[in-house]
Structure 1
């Protein structure tokens, strides 16, 4: 990259110096001896070359001088002025000389570009590191895009499955509700029909004479909570348990069996474990 910027600047500077020297010799050769004209042309080119060399030396040291840069631009403008003046006085060849009159300014601009490149140039190791960072960033971006696309596809599939399942549940619920509504309508029709009343009367007349049969459909709606059963009293002692078992056993004649006694014991609201109840039975029978 260094050669791509410095070689055009060197070539254009050399061409500009040659043209400046040739123009000065041709221009002043008719008025003064040619050695004098040659010295004037070399002076312009030498001053330009000297300031350019000094400027490049400062640039190599990482320094910069506005004075040196200004002097270099002055020599470049002088060379360009010489070429423009010669073109304006050249007569028929004025167009050709004007076409090359910009070369000194272009040479200074190329040296300016080369200086900017040197101040911003990076080593191959730094360039490799930058390329690696950029490639890593591109890889991470590609992976993130692929992950987002995969997650979006998975979420779309999940939503489609959930929606389909919800639709199936809704269809089943609608069908069930329709079936229940039909059954309820059938029951209501049967309850309100005259045939139902006559059928119930014919069935229940012999069992409950003088009673008009009536039946109601269950009601769909909120239910009232059922009160909790009262907690049992304190546990019976063995003596009290023996007394209760003996009373229940001899409440009929002949005496009750254990199964009948146990049923009446619990029906009366007493509570005792099966083990204690059977032990009390054995003690009473013994």
Structure 2
């Protein structure tokens, strides 16, 4: 695995060393004997290699020394400076020499990258475990997303159905209320009509003469309890007492109550009398 980074670094180092030695010999060979120029070039390359070897040894031990690193970068900077100076003073192909002057620094940077690779390298088993964990996390996230989307779709469908059902119920209620309102209006108009009053009067006059017939509409809704009937039979009322009770109930409000209203209140109050006696008392009181 480390060959992916070490081979470029080794190749760049070899090219840089050869180029540095060649430039030093060509540049200084005209001023000093060529063996001296070779020694200078080998000294620069040797110092560079020595510091690199020591850095690699420390890295293998899991250690690091800033002084060694600084010296190594210094040799790289010197080699680069020699190449740049030669390119600037060369009479021919100055641009070409300047274009390759960065090779020593590039080689040093590649060794730095290789050392970082080694510090973070993992075994195949560890990499497989990491890939398994990542895949498991992706699977769980995908399942969670699918579950959330399904629940959201289900909730949307439920709310749509509930809303539609509520709308239908509201429509039916509104239609029923409209029908009842129309029927109630018809009944109210019939109750207040002149012909209805005449018909009721013609029917009730033989039974309760002198009493204005009225037709009350039924009341919808809860009604108050009328109370439990008396378990013990009350004693029979005399005609005089019955007349007093009927007259009192009839005139309990203004205008006087009708026979049916009086009879209902009479029995609600707990009094007892047959229908024949009650009607006879009514006729005596009204007469």
- Per-residue deviation, residues 182-227 of structure 1 (Å, max 9, x unmatched): 121111111111211221222223333343322211245664x436
Within 2, Cα distance between the matches of 1:198 and 1:40?
142
Within 2, Cα distance between the matches of 1:13 and 1:60?
19
Once the two structures are TM-superposed, the CA of residue 35 in structure 1 deviates from its matched residue by 2.3
Q: Give the corresponding residue for 1:138.
A: 138
Structure 2 residue 152 is matched with structure 1 residue 114: no
Once the two structures are TM-superposed, the CA of residue 19 in structure 1 deviates from its matched residue by 0.8
Moved more, 165-174 or 23-32: 23-32
Once the two structures are TM-superposed, the CA of residue 232 in structure 1 deviates from its matched residue by 7.6
Q: Mind listing any 5+ residue stretches in structure 1 that lack a counterpart?
A: 234-286
Q: Give the corresponding residue for 1:64.
A: 64
What is the TM-score when the length of structure 1 is the normalising length? Answer: 0.75
Q: Give the corresponding residue for 1:127.
A: 127
Within 2, Cα distance between the matches of 1:100 and 1:81?
12
- Per-residue deviation, residues 9-39 of structure 1 (Å, max 9, x unmatched): 1111101100111112222323333222222
What is the TM-score when the length of structure 2 is the normalising length? Answer: 0.75
For 1:211-250, what aligned pairs fall within 5 Å after superposition?
Answer: 211-220=211-220, 223=223, 225-226=224-225, 229=228
Q: Mind listing any 5+ residue stretches in structure 2 that lack a counterpart?
A: 233-287
- Per-residue deviation, residues 107-150 of structure 1 (Å, max 9, x unmatched): 11111111112112222222222222222222122112111111
Distance 1:216 1:173, change over 3 A: same
- Partner of 1:183, secondary structure, is helix
For 1:118-267, what aligned pairs fall within 5 Å after superposition?
Answer: 118-220=118-220, 223=223, 225-226=224-225, 229=228
- Partner of 2:57, secondary structure, is helix
Moved more, 124-133 or 148-157: 124-133
Within 2, Cα distance between the matches of 1:121 and 1:227?
95
Q: Give the corresponding residue for 2:13.
A: 13
- Partner of 1:168, secondary structure, is helix
Structure 2 residue 38 is matched with structure 1 residue 42: no
Distance 1:232 1:191, change over 3 A: closer
Within 1, Cα distance between the matches of 2:66 and 2:230?
107
Within 1, Cα distance between the matches of 2:103 and 2:169?
86
CA RMSD of aligned residues (A): 2.6
Within 2, Cα distance between the matches of 1:32 and 1:189?
136
Within 2, Cα distance between the matches of 1:77 and 1:99?
16
Distance 1:100 1:229, change over 3 A: same
Aligned residue pair count: 236
